[in-house]
Amino acid sequence: MIELKPFLSERVWGGDELKRLKKISTEQFPTPLGETWEISTHIEGESRVCLDNDTQTLKQYLKKELSYLVKFISCEDNLSVQVHPHDEYARMHENSKGKTECWIILDVKDNGGIYLGFKPGITKEIFQEKVLHNQDVSECLNFYPVRPGDFFYVPAGSVHALAKGVTLVEVQQSSGVTYRVWDWNRLGLDGKPRELHVKKSFDVLNFNADKNNLNAFRFQPDVFSTIEQNVLAEHEDFQLKIINMKKNDKKSITVDPAKTTSIVFLNGEFRNNNQTVRGYSSYLLSGSVLDVECVESGSFLLVK
């Protein structure tokens, strides 16, 4: 396993929680930390390879771009109400991939939750009226209280926002395209309102009732409780698998050598050969077999 160093992303809604979890000092990153881009070859934030004194980016090391991107996200304020475009629209208007993503909730404080999808009966016209008059559009959205282990699949076109107090891991297409519909009437870190993308948002928002419920978002509770390897998501650009282990368990996992496989440790403590790893850390698999021993019960992801 090759350790990866994340790109650290400042966000107005971020704070100190990810710094604490990843042991990043305030001196090292004095501003609000919202996201750590753990596995990324994206131009807006590349992770780096930790090999002796090697300072290569992941893209330089792999000599290619990955089709997926993995982040830890922790919000100490609400994220904007937003939507991501699908591939065709993003390619046409942004010269980019679209952005379908999925989340595993890792921690939640202060009765946190997620806004995801439109409530029954909300039409484009009703939502547009709210947006144009700068009203609280969250009233139009489903709000789900969450617990650690909750899984959600969020297709492009789905309206969403994370509420304050939520920490999660996100696996997504390698894209940075986000359209903000509404931003809680707050100011950005520069003291000015953040840019909204109302026209583009309405171009891609999906108001179909069948696409705005928990079935559409493939909700699974407590994915940390499964015994065997569990494939949580299959997408053209990524496969997401979770492995849960108990103390003293040992596993030898074979992966496809033709695909770049990344490992994201979420919690617990593990050993790979003489390497001890803990939660909130990410690695690149350097071979086709992962031999891992569980020191303290926990979970990790395989992404390819």
What the block records as the tokens of 153 is: 């699949």
User: Who contacts 140 (Cβ-Cβ below 8 Å, separation ≥6)?
Assistant: 118, 119, 122, 126, 127, 130
132 sits in which H/E element: helix 124-132
What the block records as the tokens of 162 is: 């994370």
User: Who contacts 141 (Cβ-Cβ below 8 Å, separation ≥6)?
Assistant: 81, 115, 116, 117, 118, 119, 159, 160, 161
Handedness of CA 16, 18, 21, 24 (dihedral sign): negative
Contact status, residue 114 vs residue 162, Cβ threshold 8 Å? yes
Q: For residues 181 and 106, what is the distance between their CA atoms, to the nearest angstrom? A: 26
- What are the backbone dihedrals phi and psi of residue 56, each rounded to the nearest 5 degrees, phi first? -65, 145
User: Who contacts 70 (Cβ-Cβ below 8 Å, separation ≥6)?
Assistant: 37, 38, 39, 40, 169, 170, 171, 172, 262, 264, 282, 301, 303
Active site residue 91: no
Contact status, residue 226 vs residue 233, Cβ threshold 8 Å? no
Kindly name the residue from 48, 147, 180, 278 that is annotated as catalytic.
Answer: 180
By annotation, the residues acting in catalysis are 180
